[in-house]
Each structure stands twice: as C-alpha cells, then as structure tokens.
C-alpha cells in the first residue's frame, strides 16, 4: 500500500510539473530546460528551512515556492531583455550551474544529498492525508492553468505567440507577460519540489538533473502542448512506462539509461510523426462564452 501511495504522489507531482511547464512552453512560447532546477530550489529551500532553521513545514513549503518564483525572475529578466533564444541558453546554464552550486555547498548536504527532512502530516494523519494533499494541489494547479489559458490573459498569450511584433503594435508589453508566465510556472514547480521533499524526506542533486528536463519536456510535447489534458496524459504515460519496466527487474545501471532512451526516443518519434502530440490543441482561441455557444456577446 505504501508503495502505491508513493507512485500516486510521484505521478501527481509530475502532472503538476508538466502542467506548469506547459504554461511556460505551450502557452507562453518560452523555450527553457530549467524546470527541474526550480523543482530542486523549492525542495531544498523548504527542506533546509524546516530542518535546520525550525521553520514550520507549511511555511517552509511556501518559502520554497517563493524562492523558486524569485530566482526564476532573476533568470528570465536579463535573458528576455535580449530575446527568447537567449532564455533557452541561459536556462541551460542556470539548470547546470545551480546544481553545481548545490553539489558543492555544505549546508545543502553536497553531492550526498540532504537527509532527515521533517515529515508533514504523515505522523499525525497518516500517509493517505499526504496523498490527498498532493492530489488537491494537483487539481488546483490544473484548474488554475486552465482558467488562465481560457481567460483574457489567455487571449493575450495566444496573440503574443502568433505575432510578437503585432502584439507590440497594439500597445501590449510582451516581455513582462513572459516574465510573469515564467515566474508563475517556476513557482508552481517549486511548490511541487517542497511537496516532494517532505514526503520522501531525502533529496539529492542527481534527482534533479537534465534527465528530468527531458522527461518533463517529453510529457508536454508528447501529451500535447496548449491543452489541459495533454500534460496529464503525458505524465501518466511517461510514469506508467518506467513503472512497467521495473517489473522486468533490470539492474539499476541499465534501468536509468533505458528510461532515458524511452523518453528521448518517444519525443523524437512523436516529433517526426505526430508533432501536435496525443491531445490535439484547438486551432482558434475562443472566449469561454463563445465556446459554450452562448449568444451573450451579440447583445450590445
């Protein structure tokens, strides 16, 4: 039973990561590989604050989210001032660089990892409560991203992706919108990190490496960008597959690369044969009333 809870929580966290990454790359049109590093920042910040500074876990988790949020702005602001392509390159540097820092600092536990992270809820209310917590957060994130995408903000995001120059020509500021989207998505990743840390109670730099970037990217691209269900389907698919492989009882040195091969192989195959992903996006953005077919907008 405990094993199952672990799986549900992992899948739930990946859905959160994929959905928030879809916000950044799908709706925001921002190319970045730095999502796992914000997952890590949220996890480490929350872990360190709660274990070594006595901060109560809920506040530590929120602090983790804030750390991820603020550091993502530090990354996005200088990069986007130049162009979107620079964000990509800066994100590679940021992802690899911050992990280097974590590996070398003493207070993060170094390469060996950070242990004895204070538990949350499990001791008092049982593991089921934590599972419920993750599921609730997951649903909230899904609904939040969906709401944003369908709102007036979503209309603006869609226009911005269509033609950034025309977007500026109607008086809209693309750069700030991108920064907000990036920060929000990264902040959510930070929250997911904190949730991870306080359940599994052990975090190490190798859990947040580039493999995770590939995995999350795969979930979104294969699942279907700019859709609500795409990242969910992608996360389920890409977590179900490795779980299925573990039943083959392969040695860990082979298991890791095989999982990696599956991720990257899947993306490459999909990019060639079904670039729109499993869940196709609609081709035209419509306001919620128009979607429902109501005639509200015809009234003057």
Partner 1 sequence: MSSILTVNGLQKSFGGIVVARDIDLTLHSGRIVGLIGPNGAGKTSLFNLITGVVKPDAGTVALAGETLNKLKFHQRIRRGLSRTWQNIRLFSSLPVIDNLLVATHDYPGERLVNVLFRRAHLARHNRAARDKAMDVLGKVGLAGVAHDRVADLPYGQQKLVGVARALMGDAKCLLLDEPMAGVEGQSYAAMQRVVREVAEHGVAVCVVEHNVAFIRDLCDEGVFMFSGAIMARGSVAELIRDPQLTELYFGH
Partner 2 sequence: MLDATIILQILWTSLATSSYYVLFAVAFALVLKVTRLFNFAQAAIMTIAFYTAFVAVQWLAWPAWAAFAAMMAVTLAASYLLERIGFEALRKRGVSVMFVFVFTFMVSEFVAYVAMLIFGTWPQTIFPTIFWPATLIGNIAISAWDLPAIATTIGSLAALFVFMRFTRVGQFMVGVADNPDLAELYGINKRQIFLAAMLIAGVFVALGMFLYGTRAQVLPQTALSLMLFAIAATIMGGIGNIAGAAITAVVLGIIQNVSILVISSEWQGFLLYVFLFLAIVFFPSGLRLPRRKVRFGTATREIAPEPVAPAAESKA
262 in Cβ contact with 242 (< 8 Å): yes
**CA–CA dist 27, 21 (Å, integer):** 9
Query: What minimum distance in Å lies between the beta carbon of 125 and partner 2?
Result: 40
Stretch that binds partner 1, among 107-115, 153-161, 191-199, 257-265 (CB under 8 A): 153-161
Phi, psi of 251 (to 5 degrees): -65, 150
- List the one residue out of 192, 250, 247, 266 whose CA is nearest residue 37: 192
DSSP 3: H
Q: What is the CA radius of gyration of the chain?
A: 20
Binders in 101-130 for partner 2, by CB under 8 A: 101, 103-104
204 forms part of the interface with partner 2 (CB under 8 A): no
Closest CB 80 distance from partner 2, rounded Å = 10
CB atoms within 10 A of CB 233: 19
**Which residue from 1, 124, 253, 300 is in contact with partner 2, where contact means CB under 8 A?**
253
User: From the list partner 1, partner 2, none, which binds 158 (C-beta under 5 to 8 Å, kind-based)?
Assistant: partner 1
Q: Supply the minimum distance, in Å, between the C-beta of residue 120 and partner 1.
A: 27
Scan residues 89-148 and list those touching partner 1 (CB under 8 A).
148
Find, among 218, 163, 281, 174, the residue nearest to 21 by Cα.
Answer: 218
The angle subtended at Cα 206 by Cα 49 and Cα 201, nearest 5°, is: 40
Distance (Å, whole) CA 68 – CA 218: 22
User: Which residue in the set 140, 240, 261, 290 belongs to the binding site for partner 2 (CB under 8 A)?
Assistant: 261
Q: How many CA atoms lie within 13 A of 154 on its CB side?
A: 19
Running DSSP on this structure, what letter comes out for residue 240? H
Taking CB under 8 A as the rule, does residue 211 contact partner 1? Answer: no
CB nearer partner 2, residue 119 or residue 260: 260
- Using CB under 8 A, list all residues that contact partner 1: 148, 151-153, 155-156, 158-159, 161-163, 165-174, 177, 180, 184, 283-287, 290, 297, 300
Which chain residues interact with partner 2 by CB under 8 A?
Answer: 25, 29, 31, 33, 78-79, 82-86, 88-90, 92-94, 96-97, 100-101, 103-104, 164-165, 210, 214, 217, 221, 253-254, 256-258, 260-261, 263-265, 267-268, 271-272, 275
């Amino acid at each position: 039973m405990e094993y199952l809870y672990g799986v549900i929580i992992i899948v739930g966290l990946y859905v959160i990561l994929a959905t928030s990454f879809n916000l950044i790359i799908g709706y925001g049109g921002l190319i970045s590989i730095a999502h796992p590093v914000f997952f890590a920042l949220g996890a480490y910040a929350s872990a360190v604050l709660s274990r070594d500074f006595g901060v109560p876990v809920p506040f530590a988790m929120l602090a983790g989210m804030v750390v991820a949020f603020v550091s993502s702005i530090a990354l996005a602001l200088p990069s986007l001032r130049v162009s979107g392509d620079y964000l990509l390159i800066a994100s590679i540097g940021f992802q690899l660089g911050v992990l280097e820092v974590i590996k070398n600092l003493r207070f993060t536990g170094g390469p060996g990892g950070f242990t004895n992270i204070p538990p949350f809820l499990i001791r008092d209310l049982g593991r089921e409560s934590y599972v419920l917590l993750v599921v609730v957060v997951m649903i909230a994130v899904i609904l939040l991203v969906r709401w944003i995408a369908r709102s007036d903000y979503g209309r603006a995001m869609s226009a911005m992706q269509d033609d950034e120059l025309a977007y500026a020509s109607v008086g809209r500021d693309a750069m700030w919108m991108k920064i907000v989207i990036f920060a929000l998505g990264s902040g959510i990743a930070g929250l997911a990190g904190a949730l991870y840390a306080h359940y599994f109670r052990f975090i190490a730099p190798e859990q947040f490496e580039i493999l995770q970037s590939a995995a999350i990217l795969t979930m979104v691209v294969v699942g279907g960008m700019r859709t609500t269900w795409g990242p969910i389907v992608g996360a389920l698919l890409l977590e179900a597959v490795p779980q299925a492989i573990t039943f083959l009882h392969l040695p860990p040195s082979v298991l890791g690369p095989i999982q990696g091969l599956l991720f990257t192989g899947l993306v490459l195959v999909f990019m060639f044969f079904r670039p729109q992903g499993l869940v196709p996006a609609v081709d035209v953005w419509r306001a919620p009333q128009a979607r429902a077919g109501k005639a509200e907008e015809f009234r003057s």
